[in-house]
Homo-oligomer: A and B are copies of this chain.
Amino acid sequence: MKEQPIISVSAAEMQQLKNMIPDEERLFIGDQIPEDYLYDEYVEETGGLFAVALPKTKEEIVQLVKFANQADLSIITRGAGTGLSGATAPTNGELVIDVHLMNQIVDFDEKTMTLTVEPGVLLGEVQEFIEKKGFFYPPDPGSKHSSIGGNVATNAGGMRAVKYGVTRDYVRELDVVLANGEEMKLGSLNIKSSSGYDLKDLFIGSEGTLGITTLIKLKVIPLPKTSLSAIAAFENLKDATDAVLTILKNGVDPTALEFFEKEAIEMSEKDNHLAFPSQKGQAYLLITLDGDSTASVERRMKLLEESALQHHLIELVPLTNPEDDHTAWFLRDKLLTAVVNYTEQVTMDEVVPINHVSTLYQYTKELQAESGLEMISFGHAGDGNLHTCVTRGDIQDQAEWENKRDDVLTKLYHKIDELGGLPSAEHGIGLIKKPYFEKMTADINLAIMRKIKAVIDPDHRLNPSKIF
């Protein structure tokens, strides 16, 4: 961490800030700031902060933004702090607006199937609340402790994107506060629009650089009546990912279509003292089908099996037993934790066109042979989103690890670019993928993004130095 930067804020201004957020436990200034805000486990070196404020209302946010303008402070908006790209890491004396106390589920309108929530509501709370009412919020990012505001800021994806899409597809309307404190509504409850530029989608995924979200209206859908998961075991990952293309083409319409190698799931098995319900083969697909009837799911499960058999399926294990289902998904969910517990590593979030998943996977194995760094891949095969972990293993020397790691990452991102892929599918660019993103993005696209940032936030007050 850098030295705390020197911010010239007068005593009168300091008092003004304290009057704005009158509760002591909602405002931390200078050396009172809890450690948690100052470090980011994914960013090697972070800067200091001026203050952290925890507003409870939109009005307090507006006041804080106006204060930041007056005192010439930059602003970082923070939700649950579960981001994986360093988008909320301090860089140089920012004011953090932490919205996690704005955590009310405001309204559910069954007629328009719209759920209105504050940005600090956790994803898990959204899912639980709405499923109790018989409805469904499909986006399903790994961390149920992430905030819905953060989900919007990163356009979070998750397991069910292959059938249901991502956060973007479920945001109807956003209330935002702009960099100058002005308020704005984006989108509407209307299902269709051909009325002017689509500003809502510009703000979604902009990682706190264009505005601060204060209220979110989400689309929900009727809860599927039934679902069933299964494991498909293959001799190698190429067969598994080839099968994915056939499964999608044949209209199996899977809700989730995860892939991982035996090596990876073994780490999770060891870490959790549980056995994965298939022990055959070297690569797996973990699949969920949902639908309006058992008959429909069963019919598509058969179609799935036929599709997979064209690619040397070893066995299909339907997880009809709830315990097996739980074990399989639990081990999948804990994959990353198992890798993290095993060794220091960098987890990527790359995406490639779905026909290139196995090419990219093969390339990680080539890099593994070349560099000696073990590369573990898992991810969402149905949408081309891999999470490749570049692991340190038993390299003792810090410089050797850093050099090898950086070399491998450079080569990997270069390959992803070559395959028409992107550096981030669902976690965002933040601080840590910025150099790769800038390299992989055409100059004209970057130039237009920068120009748009400059007209919406001319002082670069909101999360500066993030994304690009």
Binding site for B on A (CB under 8 A): 109-113, 154-157, 161-162, 166, 168-169, 178, 182-186, 188-199, 201-202, 204-206, 221-225, 245, 248-251, 253, 291-293, 295-296, 299-300, 349, 351-355, 380, 383-385, 420-429, 437, 440-442, 444-446, 448-449, 451-456, 467-468
Instruction: Give chain B residues whose Cβ lies under 8 Å from the Cβ of A445.
Output: 184-186, 196, 199
A202 touches B191 (CB 8 A): no
A192 touches B299 (CB 8 A): no
Listed from nearest, the 3 A-B pairs whose CB atoms lie closest are: A222-B251, A201-B201, A191-B383
17 A-B pairs with C-beta separation under 8 A? A155-B193, A157-B194, A162-B191, A178-B444, A188-B421, A190-B425, A192-B380, A193-B425, A194-B349, A194-B427, A194-B429, A196-B441, A196-B446, A201-B201, A291-B296, A448-B455, A448-B456
Instruction: Give chain B residues whose Cβ lies under 8 Å from the Cβ of A194.
Output: 154-157, 205, 349, 424-429
**Known contacts being A184-B444, A202-B197, A429-B195, is A455 close to B451, with CB within 8 Å?**
yes
Find A249's partner among B113, B188, B193, B198 (CB 8 Å cutoff).
Answer: B113
Instruction: Give chain B residues whose Cβ lies under 8 Å from the Cβ of A300.
Output: 292
**Known contacts being A225-B251, A251-B225, A444-B184, is A198 close to B202, with CB within 8 Å?**
yes
* Supplied contacts A110-B249, A157-B192, A198-B205, 18 more A-B pairs, CB within 8 Å: A111-B245, A113-B248, A155-B198, A161-B192, A166-B192, A189-B353, A190-B351, A191-B351, A194-B429, A195-B429, A195-B441, A198-B202, A201-B202, A222-B253, A253-B292, A292-B300, A295-B295, A455-B455
Give A2 to B354 CA distance when docked, in angstroms: 53
With CB as the reference atom, state the residue of chain B lying closest to A200: B201
Give A156 to B166 CA distance when docked, in angstroms: 22
Instruction: Give chain B residues whose Cβ lies under 8 Å from the Cβ of A423.
Output: 195
Number of copies: 2
Give A78 to B302 CA distance when docked, in angstroms: 48
Give A420 to B185 CA distance when docked, in angstroms: 12
With CB as the reference atom, state the residue of chain B lying closest to A300: B292
Instruction: Give chain B residues whose Cβ lies under 8 Å from the Cβ of A223.
Output: 251
A217 to chain B, nearest CB (A): 10
**Known contacts being A113-B249, A197-B205, is A192 close to B452, with CB within 8 Å?**
no
Instruction: Give chain B residues whose Cβ lies under 8 Å from the Cβ of A253.
Output: 222, 292
Instruction: Give chain B residues whose Cβ lies under 8 Å from the Cβ of A161.
Output: 191-192
Give A467 to B199 CA distance when docked, in angstroms: 14
**Known contacts being A190-B352, A384-B192, is A197 close to B452, with CB within 8 Å?**
yes
Instruction: Give chain B residues whose Cβ lies under 8 Å from the Cβ of A425.
Output: 190, 192-195
Give A437 to B193 CA distance when docked, in angstroms: 12
Instruction: Give chain B residues whose Cβ lies under 8 Å from the Cβ of A453.
Output: 197
A149 to chain B, nearest CB (A): 15
**Known contacts being A196-B467, A222-B249, A292-B296, is A354 close to B448, with CB within 8 Å?**
no
Instruction: Give chain B residues whose Cβ lies under 8 Å from the Cβ of A168.
Output: 198
Instruction: Give chain B residues whose Cβ lies under 8 Å from the Cβ of A449.
Output: 196-197, 199
Instruction: Give chain B residues whose Cβ lies under 8 Å from the Cβ of A299.
Output: 292-293
Give A196 to B167 CA distance when docked, in angstroms: 15
B437 touches A184 (CB 8 A): no
A348 to chain B, nearest CB (A): 12
Instruction: Give chain B residues whose Cβ lies under 8 Å from the Cβ of A178.
Output: 444
